Structure 1
Amino acid sequence: MSSDAQATPAGLDDEAVLLVGHGSRREKSNEQVRTLAAELEGRLGVPVDAGFLELAKPSIPDAIAGLASTVSRVTVVQLSLFAASHVKNDVPFAVQQARSEHAELTVHNGAHLGVHPAIVDLLDERAAAVEAELGVDRTSEDIAVVLCARGSSDPDANSDAHKLARLLYEGRAFDRVEASFIGVTEPKLEETLHAVAKHRPDAVVVLPYMLGDGVLTGRIRDGAAEFDEAYPYVDAAAGDPLGTDTRLLDVLGDRWQEARTESVDMPCDTCKYKVELDGYEEDAGGARAMLRALTHQESHADRDDVGEDPHTHDAPEKHVAVCTNQTCAADGAPAVLERLRQEARDSDACDVRITRSSCLGRCGDGPMVAVYPDGVWYGGVGRADAERIVSSHLDRDRIVSNIVDQTL
C-alpha cells in the first residue's frame, strides 16, 4: 500500500467513501462487503458506507443520496476484481446519475482492484496453505498452480487474469502457473487441469480467484476434487477465496487515494469500447457502452417494479435511446420520446424498450434517436418521424432512410 493511503490526510472531515460491491442473493456475500467497508473506515479514518450494483441494497444512487446530506465529497471505490462491463459501464453510469441529482456534491469514481502486488502476495499465501494441506513443498517437488477466475466477455478482464497468473509465477518455485476460467470464456478449469496433468506434477494447487465463498467458488472446489479423483498420481486441492483479508484494504486504500486525487488510470488502450479488437468489433464506440449500461439498469428497474428476479435479463428485441440532454430537449426530444412510447404501446408487432439517454455527442443535429442492436442513429427527429420509426423500423425492420444521421 502506498504511504499516502496509510495516513489520514488533512481536510477529510467533509469526505466519505462508498465501497461498491456487485451484490448477491446470498446475504453472506453482501455482509463481506459491509465488513470490508467497516475495516476500510478504520484504515482510512473517514466514513465508509457499502453500496451495491444490483441484487442488494442500498443501490449506488441511494447510497450516494444518503451521504449527500452529510458530506460535500464522496469517493467511490469498487470492490471488483477486473475491469469488465460493470466497472466500465454500469458503475460510471450510476455515478453520473448521482452527480446530476446532487449538483452540490463532488463524486470521484475509483478503479477496480485489478492487478496489485498485495493481491499477488495474498494468492501466494493461499497457495502455501494448500501445499501444507497436501503435505508438499514447492522447493523440492513440482507444484503446478491453476488460477481460476470467473471469466468475462471483456478481453481486458481475461488478459488481466493471465497477467496475474504470470506475476504469481515470477520469482517463485512453482513448476508452472496457468490461468483458467469457470465460465464465459476459455480455457475452462477442467480443460486446464487435464492439460497440466500431462506434465505429471507432484501436486496441483487450484486457486479460486473470487472474493467470496459462493456458488462459483463451490464449482471450482468440485472441479479440483473431481480432478484429484480422476488422476491418482497427482495430489490436488483448491484453496480459499480472497475473503476479507487485510491486504485487500491495502489495494482499496490505494484505489481511494488515486480516485480522490483524480489519478485513476483505466485500461483504455485495450478497452473493447474504445478500440476495435479482433472478435469484438461490434462493441466499439462509447455510445454502445452507454447503451449497454442503460439496458442493464432498465432491466433491473423493470423487474424490481413487478417483484421479479432482478437478475433475469430477458432483453427486448430492440432498445431505443432518445437523447434528452439540454440541446436535444430544447429541440423537442421529450415530445419525441413520449410519441415513440405511445406508438410502441399501440403496436402489436414490436418488442422494444424505449429510454432516455444522456448526450449522444451529436449536439445541434437532434433530437437524436438511437436504435439498437441495429446501430442506426436518427437525427432531427420530430413527432411525425417518431411514428414512422415505430411503424417502419421497429415493426418491419425497414430503416427510415431520410432521417438517418449515421450507422454504427
Structure 2
Amino acid sequence: MHRIRYPSPPGHASGTAPAAPALVAVAHGSRDPRALHTVTELLARVRELRPGLDVRLGHIELNAPLLPETLHALGSGDAVLVPLLLGRGHHVKHDIPAAVAAAPAPRARTAGPLGPHPLLVEALHGRLTEAGWHPSDRGSRDSAVVLAAAGSRDPESAADTRRTARLLGERLGGVPVVPAYASAAAPTVRAAVRALAARGHRRIAIASYFTAPGRFASAAAAGAPWIAAAPLGAHPAVARLLLHRYDRARAGGAPEYETLMNTRFPAPA
C-alpha cells in the first residue's frame, strides 16, 4: 500500500514526526447487533495496517458512540472523518458536516465516502466468490448480478451506485450488473431480478453493497434466486480503502470521482 509522507511543520524538531490526526470512522448505525460487531472488526483491521494511528468510531444514529460524542472526546486534537458510506447522499452532505460544525474543539477534515472505488469492487468480487461465483461465470450469458444498495433520493448517490455497477461488470468480464435498491429509489431488488430473468438470465446473483449486516442487507439477500453475497464488512480491501480515504483527505486531495469515470479492470490471468 502506498504511504504518503508529510513534511514536518516549520520549527518542528528534526527527526520527530508530528502526531497524525485521528481517523474517525463514521458509521450509519443499526439496530442489528451484527453491524456494530462488523464495524469493530473492520477498524481492528485498519489498526493492524497502520499501527499507532488513533482510530475511533462515531455513529450518525442508533448506536453509541454518536459522532458528536466522539468529536467531543477528541478535545483539541485534529481528526480526519472517513464516512463508512458508499455514496454522496444526505448523511455525507448534511449530517456529517453539521456534526463537525457543532464540534467545540477539534479541527476536522472529512474524506469522501467509500464509494465508488476499485477497492470496493475488489471486495464485492471477493464476497461473490465466497458465495459461490465461479470463474466460469465470467462472461456467461446465463449469469447476471444485481448490485443491491440501500438507496437514496439524492441523484449523485444513485450515480455513484451505477458507477460501481459498471466497474463490477467490467471486473466480471462483461456480465450484466444491474443496480437496485432497498428503499428510496427504483428498481427494487426483486424487480431487477425479474427483469434479468425476463432477458433470459438463469443464474442471478445478489452482490450486497452494504458496509455491514442489517435489515436492508437481509431483505436483499432474501430476494436472491441463486446466490447472495455477504455485505462488504471487514474485507481487507475495505480496510485499505479507509486508509486511502484518510491519507487523501489529510493531504488535501478530493475524491477521485472523475478518475473513476475512466477506470478499467484488466482481465484476470
Q: Same fold (TM over 0.5)?
A: yes
Instruction: Give per-residue Cα distances to partners, 1:132-152, cap 9 Å, x unaligned.
Output: 58x963356631111111111
List aligned pairs for 1:5-404, cutoff 5 A. 11-13=17-19, 15-45=21-51, 46-68=53-75, 72-98=77-103, 101-102=104-105, 105-132=106-133, 137-138=137-138, 142-170=142-170, 172-224=172-224, 228=225, 236-265=226-255
Structure 2 unaligned spans of 5+: 8-15, 259-269
Unaligned runs of 5+ in 1: 229-235, 269-408
Q: Structure 2 vs 1, CA of residues 47 and 193 (structure 1 numbering), >3 Å: closer, same or farther?
A: same
In structure 2, do the counterparts of structure 1 residues 171 and 75 end up closer, same or farther at CA, with 3 Å as the change threshold? Answer: closer
User: Are 1:108 and 1:260, in contact at CA under 8 Å, matched by a contact in 2?
Assistant: yes
Q: 2:54 and 2:171 mapped to 1: Cα distance?
A: 39
* TM-score when normalising by structure 2: 0.83
Preserved contact between residue 131 and residue 137 of structure 1 (Cα < 8 Å): no
Larger Rg: 1
Q: Is the 8 A contact 2:139 2:175 kept in 1?
A: no
More helix by share: 1
Shift of 1:214: 1.3
Read off the aligned partner of 1:219 and give its amino acid letter.
Answer: A
Measured after TM superposition, the shift of residue 122 of structure 1 is 1.6
Q: Which runs of 4+ in 1 moved over 4 A?
A: 7-10
Out of 160-169 and 175-184, give the one that drifted further.
175-184
Structure 2 residue aligned with 1:310: none
Instruction: Tell me, yes or no, if the aligned pair for 1:84 and 1:157 is still in contact at 8 Å.
Output: yes
C-alpha offsets along residues 6-62 of structure 1, whole Å, 9 cap, x if unaligned?
x89873435322111111222321222222223222322311111111111122221
Q: Is the 8 A contact 1:146 1:180 kept in 2?
A: yes
Shift of 1:219: 0.7
Q: 1:183 to 1:14 in 2, by over 3 A?
A: closer
Larger deviation, residues 47-56 vs 35-44: 35-44
What is the deviation of 1:252? 0.7
Q: 1:262 to 1:8 in 2, by over 3 A?
A: closer
Alignment partner, residue 287 of structure 1: none
CA contact (8 A) 2:35 2:212 kept: yes
* Larger displacement relative to structure 2 (147-156 or 121-130): 121-130
CA distance in 1, matches of 2:256, 2:140: 40
Q: What's the CA shift for 1:222?
A: 1.4
Which amino acid counterpart does residue 217 of structure 1 have in structure 2? A
**Cα distance change, pair 66–136 in 1 and its aligned pair in 2 (3 A):** same
Relative distance call for 1:250 and 1:8 in structure 2 (3 A) is farther
Identity %, equivalent residues: 29
SS of 2:74's partner is helix
State the SS of the aligned residue for 2:137.
coil
Question: Would you say how many aligned residue pairs link Structure 1 and Structure 2?
Answer: 249
CA distance in 2, matches of 1:25, 1:172: 33
Letter in 2 for 1:128: T
Supply the distance in 2 between the matched residues of 1:148 and 1:219 (Cα, whole angstroms). 10
Structure 1 residues 146 and 132: alpha-carbon distance in aligned structure 2, compared to 1, 3 A threshold: closer
Partner secondary structure for residue 232 of structure 2: coil
| Contact in 1 for aligned 2:30/2:214 (Cα 8 Å) | no
Note the alpha carbon deviations across 1:238-296, whole angstroms, 9 max, x for none.
1111111111111111110122122234879xxxxxxxxxxxxxxxxxxxxxxxxxxxx
Counterparts of 2:153 and 2:227, CA distance in 1: 28
User: Partner residue of 2:263?
Assistant: none
Cα distance in 1 for residues equivalent to 2:244 and 2:188: 32
TM-score (normalised: structure 1): 0.56
Residue matched to 2:266 = none
User: C-alpha separation between the residues in 2 aligned to 1:195 and 1:107?
Assistant: 45
Could you tell me how far 1:175 is from its partner in structure 2? 3.5
Give the SS at the match of 1:237: coil
Q: CA deviation at 1:128?
A: 2.7
SS in structure 2 of the partner of residue 238 of structure 1: coil
